[in-house]
């Protein structure tokens, strides 16, 4: 962006967005900005998102996984540094960490070209980078050094809740609990560092994790927080996933009428937005609820809907999952 384009964008900001921007540049938290301007934190985040777009800092990917706040700060440090007031303790610590990481590692020699190659992928917007080579050549060391240099703090938190969920469906329950706690405790203080995508899916994956770990109370808490977050940020798909999760929890507690209410709300939202994968899961979960109530004809009807949608999106493993549930239902009715 040129200086002229920058000035034009700055001068065209509304009064409210300029107020939010100046407080953001002073390193005030979303909570502090919301309190001082008497608006919600969700409104603060929305203002900052629009400000980024007006300065040409739109997200490259539709899922909004990459926050543009750092880019916005850098833009003002370049063209209007007088508006950037000081550094937070967190930023100072980050800079110190980057400086420490720049010190040569005596066990990491001759890999500058590999790091440059990874940086090239990153600059092109790669969402996944896979390092492949024979065993013992230093793949893990390369990955660790690269990530330390990049300081991907927000991706670290995302990794926590992803690993928590993965471990929760294996026998490593203690690891699942550990990563879930890390994600939950880190994210409570650092929500302003995460994109809306990350915040919403953190609640969903933690809800799934705590459900798998048998902590129903915490699972309810995560799903309800997901619904609140989705309502505040108009994130329909997150809300529908949370509603489906709540329906499953109520089914487990034998509260079928409440479960049906949440199933119905979730499916209505998902049909409206056309999210086939989540809609298929919604029908599958509804089929399981009918199955639990011994209403096998209605269960079969919803299982069939789920299979049809899973086939449309070419998800054979999910089709297999539904078929397995149908077979269990038929076997139980035969006995």
- The per-residue pLDDT string of the chain (335 residues; one tens digit each, 9 = 90 and over) reads 788 888 899 999 999 999 999 999 888 888 889 999 999 888 888 899 899 989 888 654 444 445 578 788 888 888 888 888 754 444 434 434 434 444 445 455 556 677 777 777 766 666 567 777 666 667 767 766 665 555 555 567 778 888 899 999 988 999 999 999 988 876 555 555 567 788 899 999 999 999 999 999 999 999 999 999 999 999 999 999 999 999 999 999 999 999 999 999 999 999 999 999 999 999 999 999 999 999 999 999 999 999 999 999 999 999 999 999 998 866 665 54
Provide the H-helix boundaries in the chain.
Answer: 3-11, 15-25, 30-37, 41-54, 69-79, 89-101, 112-123, 139-150, 153-168, 173-189, 196-212, 216-233, 236-252, 256-273, 276-292, 296-312, 316-334
- pLDDT (0 to 100) of residue 331: 66
Looking at residue 108, what is its pLDDT? 54
Among 148, 125, 143, 150, which residue's Cα sits nearest to residue 65? 125
Output the pLDDT for position 94. Answer: 40
Q: Which residue has the tokens 């070209």?
A: 113
Contact 250, 264 (CB under 8 A): no
How far, in whole angstroms, is CA 196 from its chain's centroid?
7
Task: Characterize 228-261 residue by residue with b for buried, 16 or more Cβ atoms within 10 angstroms of its Cβ, and e for exposed.
Answer: ebbeebebebbbbbbbbbbbbbbbeeeebeebbe
Of 290, 270, 272, 265, which is closest to residue 281 (Cα–Cα)? Answer: 270
Give, in degrees to the nearest 5, the angle at Cα 219 between 218 and 223.
115
- pLDDT on residue 31: 87
pLDDT for 71 equals: 80
CB < 8 Å & 24+ apart, contacts of 117-123? 118/142, 118/146, 122/150
Tokens coding 203: 């609640």
269, 236 Cβ separation under 8 angstroms: yes
pLDDT given at position 128:
64
Fold (CATH) for 3-83:
Arc Repressor Mutant, subunit A (1.10.10)
Domain boundaries, the chain: 3-83, 101-150, 156-334
d(CA 44, CA 208): 29
Domain 156-334 has CATH 1.25.40.10: yes
Question: What confidence score (pLDDT) does residue 197 get?
Answer: 80
Structure tokens at 289: 């609820």
Long-range contacts of 137-145, Cβ-Cβ distance < 8 Å, separation of 24 or more: 138/111, 141/107, 141/108, 142/111, 142/114, 142/115, 142/118, 145/101, 145/105, 145/108, 145/111, 145/115
State the Cα–Cα distance between residues 285 and 280, nearest whole angstrom. Answer: 9
């Amino acid at each position: 962006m040129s200086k002229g384009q920058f000035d034009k964008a700055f001068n065209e900001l509304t009064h409210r967005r300029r107020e939010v921007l100046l407080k953001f540049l002073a390193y005030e938290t979303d909570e502090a900005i919301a309190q001082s301007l008497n608006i919600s934190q969700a409104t603060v985040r929305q203002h900052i998102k629009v400000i980024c777009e007006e300065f040409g800092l739109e997200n490259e990917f539709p899922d909004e996984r990459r926050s543009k706040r750092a880019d916005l700060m850098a833009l003002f440090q370049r063209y209007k540094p007088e508006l950037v007031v000081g550094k937070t303790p967190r930023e100072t610590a980050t800079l110190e960490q980057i400086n420490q990481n720049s010190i040569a590692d005596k066990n990491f020699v001759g890999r500058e070209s590999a790091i440059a190659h990874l940086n090239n992928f990153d600059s092109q917007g790669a969402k996944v980078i896979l390092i492949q080579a024979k065993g013992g050549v230093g793949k893990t060391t390369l990955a660790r050094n690269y990530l330390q240099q990049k300081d991907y703090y927000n991706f670290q938190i995302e990794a926590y809740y992803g690993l928590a969920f993965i471990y929760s469906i294996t026998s490593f329950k203690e690891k699942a609990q550990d990563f879930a706690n890390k994600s939950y405790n880190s994210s409570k203080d650092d929500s302003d560092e995460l994109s809306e995508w990350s915040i919403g899916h953190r609640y969903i994956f933690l809800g799934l994790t705590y459900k798998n770990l048998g902590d129903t109370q915490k699972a309810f808490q995560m799903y309800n927080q997901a619904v609140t977050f989705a309502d505040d940020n108009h994130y329909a798909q997150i809300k529908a996933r949370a509603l489906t999760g709540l329906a499953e929890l109520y089914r487990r507690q034998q509260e079928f009428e409440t479960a049906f209410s949440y199933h119905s709300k979730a499916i209505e939202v998902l049909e409206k937005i056309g999210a086939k994968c989540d809609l298929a899961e919604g029908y599958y979960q509804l089929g399981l609820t009918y199955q639990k109530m011994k209403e096998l004809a209605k269960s079969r009807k919803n299982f069939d809907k789920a299979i049809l949608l899973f086939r449309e999106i070419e998800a054979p493993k999910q089709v297999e999952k539904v078929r397995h549930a149908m077979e269990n239902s038929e076997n139980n009715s035969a006995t």
